[in-house]
Amino acid sequence: MSEQIGFVGLGIMGSGMARNLVEKGHAVVVWNRTGSKMQPLVEAGAMAGDSPADVARRCSTVMICVSDTPDVDAVLHGEDGLLEGVSEGSLVVDHSTISPGATAEFAEEVRDLGGAWIDAPVSGGSEGAAKGTLSIMVGGSDEDVARATSAMEAFGTTITHVGPVGAGQQVKIVNQILVVVNQLAVSEALLFAQAAGLDLSATLDAVKGGAAGSWMLANRGPQMIERDWRPGFTIDLQQKDLRLALEAADAAGTPIPGTALVFQLYRALQNEGLGAEGNHALVKALEKMSGIEVGS
């Protein structure tokens, strides 16, 4: 590969994405705030950057995957921040899920330095990041998206150009509304099945192939039955996305009552110290109301 790719942010999603870039033949320079997280990638064949600025100076394309809007802000504007290394021809690809408004501001700053920005949030959980099967919703110009596509194909199987800069973040909000309301439906359904004395695994097999089938049901349902709360995506991160969704819906004047309900249920679980569990632990809020435990 001729173009060296930078990757900033090696958390639950970024580590798998960066590893796929390395394993599929890209020359990759990585950086992470907690330096120890770089070591497994270096052992796999990546190079370690000294700072976001260093990564941007060494790589014409830099990908970012961090948790929230303030984290992207810190990557860009902190000490030895990414913007210090951006120059004419740089392309910044933000895979984080952040504020659409902030995205527009960050993109303008990069443009002022002669670079370009695309927002490319991802969906598919840590499993998708590790397996290279993420869905990526991309906002940016045709030229910039085309330039980034070969790298994104290392970790994404569904890459959809949804519009100009900012559209990717808006579509990710659509995605998260669907995810959490679907998770509420899965939680209610499995709770009812438990209360009715049904065989939960057989019930899941009976419904997942029909009109009620979904990714959340097929992938998280078995975990819920087994009471395996390891996160593909944590409650804390899901709450951050729902805050963005509620803010965007308020700005658009759109009622999203189901999403608001899930936000409050997750808040109750966070107050019990469960924010690091997988977002499928939503069912625990309903269990508390009912005194019934799925999979017990």
Q: Helices 257-271 and 235-252, interaxial angle, to 10°?
A: 150
208 is catalytic: no
Q: List, in order, residues 6 or more apart from 202 with CB less than 8 Å away.
A: none
Chain centroid offset of residue 12 CA: 9
Chain centroid offset of residue 159 CA: 14
Helical segments of 116-256, H only: 125-131, 142-152, 167-195, 200-207, 215-226, 235-252
Distance separating alpha carbons of residues 278 and 296, to the nearest angstrom: 19
* Per-position DSSP letters for 66-132, written without gaps between them: -SSHHHHHHHHHSTT-GGGT--TT-EEEE-S---HHHHHHHHHHHHHTT-EEEE--EESHHHHHHHT
Residue appearing with tokens 């705030």? 33
Which entry of 24, 37, 172, 284 is annotated as an active-site residue? 172
Cα 57 to Cα 93, 111, 158, 184, 288: the distances in Å are 15, 16, 30, 45, 52
Q: List, in order, residues 6 or more apart from 165 with CB less than 8 Å away.
A: 103, 104, 107, 117, 118, 119, 139, 140, 141
> Residue 6 carries which side chain, given as an amino acid letter?
G
Residues 290, 192 contacting (CB under 8 angstroms)? no
> Residue 290 carries which side chain, given as an amino acid letter?
S
Length of the chain counted residue by residue: 296
Instruction: Return the active site residues.
Output: 172
